Structure 1
Amino acid sequence: MATEEHQKVVLIGDGVVGSAYAFSVIQQGLAEELVIINKSNERSVGDALDLEDATPFTAPVKVKAGSYQDCKDADIITICAGAAQKPGETRLKLVERNLKIMKEIVQEVVNTGFNGIFLIAANPVDILTYAVQKISGFPAHKVIGSGTSLDSARLRVAIGKKLAIDPRDVHVDMLAEHGDSEFAAYSCGTIGGTPLMDYVLANGLTKQELLKLEEEVRNKAYEIINRKGATYYGVATALARITKAILYDQNTVLPVSAYLDGEYGEKDIYLGTPAVIDKDGIQKVVELPLDSREQEALINSASVLRETTANGMTKAGLLNYLWK
């Protein structure tokens, strides 16, 4: 794992999300070494050459294009590879294509002797994170998905705008699927130490308006994709934040895609929930005390994920890994 002497991150998949993540790692000087692996080596070489020009202004990060052999001594493998979401396409429709890509990548990585942390960003992220854990055979705490980290940020921005408050001071998370069945855990949120529901109702927001914000958060990715083709700055920064929590052993609570083993009454599934992140990955899941609406939404989302996982892994020829 990461040490003070050497911190190495390998990025697999240098599309718009991967490239933005690489820039975030360089910009924040998170690692001592960043290796980029991409199907098109010319692109990864070009990105490495471009990124190294930023290091005199940020931190002396060694950045290069590499191969799977570079994974052997990495602390974190961040996977952004996979088919991109198209306008009008849900994340769940990507499942079969991206499961096949993920199987190939994970087997290549594991064959090098890699023993660090897998960080997954490709969609549908909860299902692909589950598949990576099953295919790799790694302990569940060492396989993390970006989960609802981006969605939670979107919700905090939306509430911050409505109330004229710094979004960093809005403490509330989106939970469950990173997708259409996710929901806002409003009953557990706080602002300035005050229960979120009390604060927003006292400052002019109604429950109906909060539910509308929740729906807007669910649809924000579609709005961005329809306008510019892809979303990448937000998720790349969220990935960088998770990376920092791991490399610097921060014991930070972040909303990620984590493996559940009884939390929320669910087992053998990955979905978005707050979790404590340290140098070993997920130290523990933070189970929120959901109200009846939120608990029902979580059960529904878990059901959607299970059904899609089963169908996708069967069609992708990964049935032997299912519920392993």
Structure 2
Amino acid sequence: MHIKTNKISIIGAGFVGSTTAFALMLAGVASDMVIVDLNKEKAEGEAMDLSHGAPFVKAVDIRAGDYEDTADSNIVIITAGVNQKPGETRLDIVNKNIKVFESIVPQVVKYSPNCIILVVSNPVDVLTYITYKLSGFPANRVIGSGTVLDTSRFRYILSQNFEIDTRNVHSYIIGEHGDSEIAAWSLTNIAGMSADDYCKQICEGCDTDFKKHIPEQVKNAAYEIINRKGVTNYGIACAVTRIVEAILRDEKTILSVSSLFRGEYGIDDVYLAIPSIVGSNGVERILTAPLAKDEEERLQESARILKSVISESNL
């Protein structure tokens, strides 16, 4: 498919921002990429290093810059913020990152009033809602990376459990990108079969407790990685690149991004991850697939948790 000229700006040149820039460069989806960071030398170093791979990828101009250099971006990706430390939850760092976003979002809006903002910083659902409020943009143009990565982790771990190709496992993690996230077993299928039916018909001797321990593995994956290497960066960079591709190519792809609820499942005025159609206009539609009663109740509880965090924050 022909790709038009596209400009992407990344705010934050840390592990996630720089790895995302690398993943986007390899994917060949942008012709122009700007990296902005308070540490200008770090941003310059990342841009230089990436640019030296120019002969091996599709033509792209990668440079470090200030906010004015991001002008007229198609997509602005925000990865800046205080990182989650070992022992901290994503919600623990909300107030620190609100201050960061109050300095970033107005600059983004000033120079790229027609862009789509993709929020990756944690806690992503809360910060996406804050970005929506600070930007004044319509909700479809403010997206969070949501549980696109959690969903990928879920599909991978399920595929390992069933010993099949990850790409043949279809499911979603919904709700908060965090401790209250929900494994949507009611939306899970392998070759058109539910996970239970597949287990009974194909696996015969598979672990009958997989519905308990696999969601726990998914929920704790980031903590396990952070405990070992201090940061998660590769998986999220892949997830962000997938979202960007869906937008720039107008794919109408269904991804579990963080979207603004307006009454879906009885939830209103909060960003949560839910399967949504993503295209050139950002989130084009939230899909209200039928969930099991307990899943819907847990989704509503996840919304209450996030709303309470927002109400108690320094916004």
Q: Aligned equivalents of 1:49 and 1:57: distance in 2?
A: 15
Q: Which residue in 2 is equivalent to 1:257?
A: 258
Paired position in structure 2 for 1:139:
138
Q: d(CA) in 2 for partners of 1:185 and 1:161?
A: 18
Q: Where does 1:96-245 land on structure 2 (aligned, <5 Å)? A: 96-202=95-201, 203=203, 204-205=205-206, 208-245=209-246
CA RMSD of aligned residues (A): 1.3
Q: Deviations over 1:120-170 (max 9, x none)?
A: 000000000000001101000000000001100111010000111111111
2 CA distance for matches of 1:153 and 1:4? 26
How big is each residue's C-alpha offset from its partner over 1:31-51, in whole Å with a ceiling of 9 and x where there is no partner? 011100011110111111110
Q: Secondary structure at the match of 2:276?
A: strand
C-alpha contact (below 8 Å) 1:27/1:54 kept by paired residues: no
2:5 matched residue in structure 1: 6
Aligned to 1:74: 73
Aligned to 2:272: 271
- What TM-score, normalized to structure 1? 0.94
Alignment check: 8 A CA contact 1:26 1:54 kept = no
C-alpha displacement of 1:207: 5.2
For the 8 Å contact 2:261–2:270, the answer to whether it is kept is: yes
Amino acid at match of 1:106: V
Aligned-pair distance for 1:114? Answer: 2.5
How far, CA to CA, are the matches of 1:104 and 1:162 in structure 2?
Answer: 45
Q: Following TM superposition, by how much is the alpha carbon of 1:174 offset from its aligned partner in structure 2, in angstroms?
A: 0.5
Please name the residue that 2:51 is paired with. Answer: 52
Retained in 2: the 8 A contact 1:186–1:197?
Answer: no
Instruction: State the 1:4 CA deviation.
Output: 4.8
AA aligned opposite 2:271? Y
Q: Which moved more, 1:282-291 or 1:196-205?
A: 196-205
- Letter paired with 2:211: L
The equivalent of 1:283 in structure 2 is 284
**SS of residue in 2 equivalent to 1:165:** coil
Percentage of identical aligned residues: 43
Contact (CA 8 Å) 1:72, 1:115: kept in 2 or not? no
- CA deviation string 1:259-278 (max 9, x = no partner): 11111111111001110000
Q: Secondary structure at the match of 2:178?
A: coil
Q: Distance in 1 between matches of 2:38 and 2:45?
A: 13
Runs (5+) with no aligned partner, structure 2: none
TM normalised by structure 2 equals 0.96
* Aligned residue identity for 2:263: G
Task: State the AA in 2 paired with 1:102.
Answer: F
Mapped partners of 2:223, 2:287: distance in 1: 29
User: 1:302 aligns to what?
Assistant: 303
1:31 and 1:111 map into 2 onto residues whose CA distance is 22
For 2:89, give the aligned amino acid. Answer: T
Question: Structure 2 counterpart of 1:215, which letter?
Answer: E
2:225 and 2:33 mapped to 1: Cα distance?
28
Change (3 A) 1:207 1:175: farther
**AA at the equivalent of 1:115:** N
Residue 108 of structure 1 and its aligned partner are, at CA, apart by 1.3
1:321 corresponds in structure 2 to none
Other structure's SS at 1:111 match = helix
